[in-house]
Amino acid sequence: MEGMIMAHESDLNLKATELRLGLPGTDECEEMVSAAKNNKRASPESVEECGSKGTCAAKSSEHETAPAPKAQIVGWPPVRSYRKNNLQPKKTESESGIYVKVSMDGAPYLRKIDLKVYNGYPELLKALETMFKLTIGEYSEREGYKGSEYAPAYEDKDGDLMLVGDVPWDMFMSSCKRLRIMKGSEARGLGGAL
Amino acid sequence: MAYSFPEEVLEHVFSFLTSDKDRNAVCLVCKSWYEIERWCRRRIFVGNCYAVSPEIVIRRFPEVRAVEIKGKPHFADFNLVPEGWGAYVYPWVAAMSAAYPLLEEIKLKRMVVTDESLELISKSFKNFKVLVLSSCEGFTTDGLASIAANCRNLRELDLRESEVEDLSGHWLSHFPDNYTSLVSLNISCLGSEVSFSALERLVARSPNLRTLRLNRAVPLEKLPNLLRRAPQLVELGTGAYSAEIRSDTYSNLAEAFSACKQLKGLSGFWDVVPSYLPAMLHVCSGITSLNLSYATIQSPDLVQLVTQCRNLQRLWVLDYIEDSGLEALAASCKDLQELRVFPSDPFGAVPNVSLTEQGLVSVSEGCPKLQSVLYFCRQMSNAALVAIARNRPKLIRFRLCILEPRVPDYLTLEPLDTGFGAIVENCKELRRLSLSGLLTDRVFKYIGTHAKKLEMLSIAFAGDSDLGLHHVLSGCESLRKLEIRDCPFGDKALLANAAKLETMRSLWMSSCSVSYGACKLLGQKLPRLNVEVIDERGPPDSRPESCPVERLYVYRTVSGRRVDMPGFVWTMDEDASLRFS
């Protein structure tokens, strides 16, 4: 403990001679601090840089198990903030919904729903039932939606027609490109293992 | 001899001289040539807005049609110049609005431009044609609306990398319905949406449109609408290059691209969805300039795209291209002249991509026309630098940024002095150089000895002593701009080479060891220089004279001290000692 406190408050020379409890990973940051200080005047005037490096030194001695965090130097590396900001993905994308078309055999026009609104299959199926005024019934792995008048199917990324409910909800959300409500009789071929 | 030609003939002869250097030389021949030339100079370039005043420019050159002015020092790009430092364009616009009613072009870089200035521009110059605002700030979309509304003859509106406050996307609608002269539009820096229908109508009524750079907010699905109305485009900047994967969107896009037979330059490409890249396939063979520096795509999509562009001359790309991609580039693109590789993760502690010095070496081997390099990487060796120097002796610009400061040759653990030494020794035409990695005074000795054509040098975290700076100032004959940060350079070299500073445009030194006393001395001795101390800690004389200043900016000027300095900038001149006491 004492070693770490000394690392906090001492300057370059003491660090070189003291016994520290820090793990090997903490050395890099300290070296950077000392190397920087060689180029710096004695007075702690360079607020930003000394400050950040000081923090770095403190952090590295406190979090022994974590690798030394990089001390961020103002304006280095010389990448314009315009460029740095533009590398981030646009926030709105993660907030926008996943809209897919829903068609029903025999219906005059299609609908669109936002998959993100639902927490799982039961909610989705309920919503489809309400939207198209029909019953879909219960899903079983073995027999699909056997006995229902309608069965929900979807087109995945590869363009294949799949039965709704076989894969985990999250996987479904990311692979579903459009939904199709098929007549029960047609759908029987999709149920169970093909 | 003096009565050889009538004025009109000389004027006509001078009109063929386009470079400022030549025109300045003409002025020195004799008084009558000076007089004739100043009346017929049409283009002015002011490299430092504080080096001369608008009044002096106007007095000497009364018939100017095009003005280009640069403001803040280059390191302002990296937040080293505090907010409010200066570089206001308003005084220039105000003076020119009275003196140059026929002004057609204004190009500004790193200047503060207000809506007021833009409005004044739009109302003062009836024949205004070109407005380029590069890395500027201080204005909003309201200012753009004035330009759109009032500049009936506008050809070019280019906002490259400026910071614009987005108040509304409707500024674009201010272009009148009968306005049809647009040739170039660059709005890539705008954060929010512009009215797409207004944009579409504008493009539709601009038969001379050659350059269109959209902003990120323009969706990919809508791009074909614009391309179809502008198949004559030569340069295109897309918006976000992503959309739901749908065959109709894809085919629309592919069809629209294939109709653009003149495309030479591409940029934009935010948020790329790789599936849509092949839609551009047909235009690739004509592409000479490709800016993928915002495209977060990786191999193989990235490499496939780049190598399709066999006639590429300029490539800006993220380090996702990796060594393997650069090797493929070197094999496919034999006309490559300029390469810039930007870091995808500049602050990451560990490398996220496999990009090393090898990539650059491959390109230097395979691309015989390579002359301009900007390369961010994490490791470098002297051997690699020597190889690059030997491969490409015709390099003009070489900017290397090793992400971690003071990193040695990773193979030998030695400083990179020898490597950079080889660069300056072999590349005799080198005009611009940026250094990085572990460097001692020795590299500066090499630079001072060999880099005779060097005009701009950027140094960071390098050197051991004043000797380093002395080598540069005493040896680099063509030096115009020197920018230094975090180096142990102090008073001695600066004072010993004070006269050199009058031959340069500017010197920037921050976080070095130049004392306040030396700054005062410099300012007193050289009245034709402005020696400015930028220090946010308060007045420099509240500290001992030996105390180093935070930042120093020295530049030659014919208009004396600035009159618009903020509270954290002090000029060192003859009166300095009087003023502070």
Q: What is the pLDDT of residue B9?
A: 92
Does residue B19 belong to any structural domain of this protein? yes
Tokens coding A150: 């309608």
Q: What is the pLDDT of residue A19?
A: 53
Q: Give pLDDT tens digits for B545-564.
A: 999 999 999 999 999 999 99
Residues of B in contact with A177 (CB under 8 A): 245
CA B179 and chain centroid, separation: 31
Residues of A in contact with B79 (CB under 8 A): 74-75, 81
Cis peptide before B300 (omega within 30 of 0): yes
Q: Which chain A residue is nearest to residue B77, measuring alpha carbons? A: A80
- The band of B577, judged by pLDDT with boundaries at 50, 70 and 90, is low
Contact status, residue B93 vs residue B117, Cβ threshold 8 Å:
yes
Average pLDDT over residues B69-75: 97
Tokens coding B65: 């049609």
Angle, CA B339 vertex, CA B338 and CA B342 arms, to 5°: 145
Q: What is the pLDDT along chain A (194 residues), one digit of tens a residue?
A: 444 444 344 444 444 455 544 444 444 333 333 334 444 443 333 333 333 333 333 333 444 444 455 567 889 999 998 888 777 655 444 456 788 889 988 888 888 888 888 878 888 988 888 888 888 878 888 878 877 788 899 998 888 889 998 888 888 888 898 899 988 777 665 544 33
DSSP B35-88: HHHHHH--EEEESSTTTS-HHHHHHH-TT--EEEEE-S-GGGGGT-S-TT---B
Distance from C-alpha of B461 to C-alpha of B439, rounded to nearest angstrom:
8
Nearest-CA distance from A137 to chain B in Å?
Answer: 31
Q: What is the pLDDT of residue A145?
A: 83
User: Are B406 and A35 a contacting pair at CB < 8 A?
Assistant: yes
CA B320 and chain centroid, separation: 24
Q: Which chain B residue is nearest to residue A72, measuring alpha carbons? A: B347
Q: What is the pLDDT of residue B89?
A: 98
Does residue B270 belong to any structural domain of this protein? no
Closest CA to B327 of B296, B289, B358: B358
- The band of B350, judged by pLDDT with boundaries at 50, 70 and 90, is confident
Does residue B397 belong to any structural domain of this protein? no
Average pLDDT over residues B107-122: 98
- The band of B575, judged by pLDDT with boundaries at 50, 70 and 90, is low
Q: Give pLDDT tens digits for B15-54.
A: 999 899 999 999 999 999 999 999 999 999 999 999 999 9
Distance from C-alpha of B184 to C-alpha of B193, rounded to nearest angstrom:
19
Interface test with A, best of B159, B486, B547, B551 (most A CBs within 10 A): B486
Q: What is the pLDDT of residue A189?
A: 59
Of A77, A82, A90, the CB nearest to B346: A77
Residue B330 touches chain A, beta carbons under 8 Å: no
Q: What is the pLDDT of residue A85?
A: 75
Closest CA to B201 of B162, B237, B148, B242: B148
CATH code, domain carrying B22 = 1.20.1280.50
Of A35, A46, A82, the CB nearest to B161: A82
Q: What is the pLDDT of residue B237?
A: 97
Nearest-CA distance from B396 to chain A in Å?
Answer: 20
Q: Which residues contact B502 (CB under 8 A, 6 or more apart)?
A: B526, B528, B529, B556
Of A39, A74, A82, the CB nearest to B487: A39
Q: Which domains does chain A have, with CATH numbers?
A: 99-188 (3.10.20.90)
Nearest-CA distance from B487 to chain A in Å?
Answer: 6
User: Are A45 and B342 a contacting pair at CB < 8 A?
Assistant: no
Distance from C-alpha of B149 to C-alpha of A106, rounded to nearest angstrom:
53
Distance from C-alpha of A141 to C-alpha of A128, rounded to nearest angstrom:
20
Distance from C-alpha of B206 to C-alpha of A14, rounded to nearest angstrom:
71
Residues of B in contact with A83 (CB under 8 A): 293-294, 342
Residues of B in contact with A81 (CB under 8 A): 79
Query: Is the interface score ipTM higher than 0.90?
Result: no
Residue B339 backbone phi and psi in degrees, to 5: -130, 130
Q: Which chain A residue is nearest to residue B377, measuring alpha carbons? A: A77
Q: Give pLDDT tens digits for B423-461.
A: 999 999 999 999 999 999 999 999 999 999 999 999 999
Q: What is the pLDDT of residue B529?
A: 95
Nearest-CA distance from B405 to chain A in Å?
Answer: 8
Q: What is the pLDDT of residue A143?
A: 78
DSSP A64-103: SSSPPPPPPPTT-S---HHHHHHTSPPHHHHHS--EEEEE
Does residue B16 belong to any structural domain of this protein? yes
User: Are B537 and A75 a contacting pair at CB < 8 A?
Assistant: no
User: Are A39 and B401 a contacting pair at CB < 8 A?
Assistant: no
Q: How far apart are the first and last CA of chain B?
A: 58
3-class SS of residue B575: coil
Residue B136 touches chain A, beta carbons under 8 Å: no
Does residue B282 belong to any structural domain of this protein? no
Distance from C-alpha of A176 to C-alpha of B135, rounded to nearest angstrom:
43
| Count of CB pairs separated by less than 8 Å, A with B | 82
Residues of A in contact with B318 (CB under 8 A): 87
Does residue B100 belong to any structural domain of this protein? no
Residue B294 touches chain A, beta carbons under 8 Å: yes
Residues of B in contact with A157 (CB under 8 A): 245
Q: Which domain holds residue B32?
A: 1-41
Residues of A in contact with B240 (CB under 8 A): 90
Q: What is the pLDDT of residue A42?
A: 36
Distance from C-alpha of B297 to C-alpha of B319, rounded to nearest angstrom:
10
User: Are B78 and A75 a contacting pair at CB < 8 A?
Assistant: yes
Residues of B in contact with A85 (CB under 8 A): none
Of B403, B513, B550, the CB nearest to A77: B403
Q: What is the pLDDT of residue B519?
A: 96
Average pLDDT over residues B352-370: 97
The answer, yes or no, to whether residue B10 has pLDDT greater than 60, is yes
Q: What is the pLDDT of residue A134?
A: 85
Residues of B in contact with A87 (CB under 8 A): 294, 296, 318, 344
Distance from C-alpha of B477 to C-alpha of B455, rounded to nearest angstrom:
8
Q: What is the mean pLDDT of chain B?
A: 95
Distance from C-alpha of B47 to C-alpha of B208, rounded to nearest angstrom:
31
Q: What is the pLDDT of residue B374?
A: 98
Q: What is the pLDDT of residue B3?
A: 63
Lowest pLDDT segment from A172-181, B138-147, B432-441, B498-507:
A172-181
Nearest-CA distance from B345 to chain A in Å?
Answer: 9
What are all long-range contacts of A189-192, with beta carbons under 8 Å and residues at least 24 apart? A190/A144, A190/A151, A190/A153, A190/A161, A190/A162, A190/A163, A191/A142, A191/A143, A191/A144, A191/A145, A191/A146, A191/A151, A191/A163, A192/A141, A192/A142, A192/A143, A192/A144
The model carries a pTM of 0.78
User: Are B343 and A43 a contacting pair at CB < 8 A?
Assistant: no
Does residue B35 belong to any structural domain of this protein? yes
Residues of A in contact with B513 (CB under 8 A): 41
The answer, yes or no, to whether residue B12 has pLDDT greater than 60, is yes
Does residue B523 belong to any structural domain of this protein? no
In chain B, how many domains are there?
1
Closest CA to B228 of B261, B197, B260: B260
User: Are B79 and A81 a contacting pair at CB < 8 A?
Assistant: yes
Distance from C-alpha of B13 to C-alpha of B462, rounded to nearest angstrom:
49
Chain A residues bordering chain B (beta-carbon distance below 8 Å): 32, 35-36, 38-41, 43, 45-47, 49, 67, 69-70, 72-84, 86-87, 89-90, 93, 157, 177
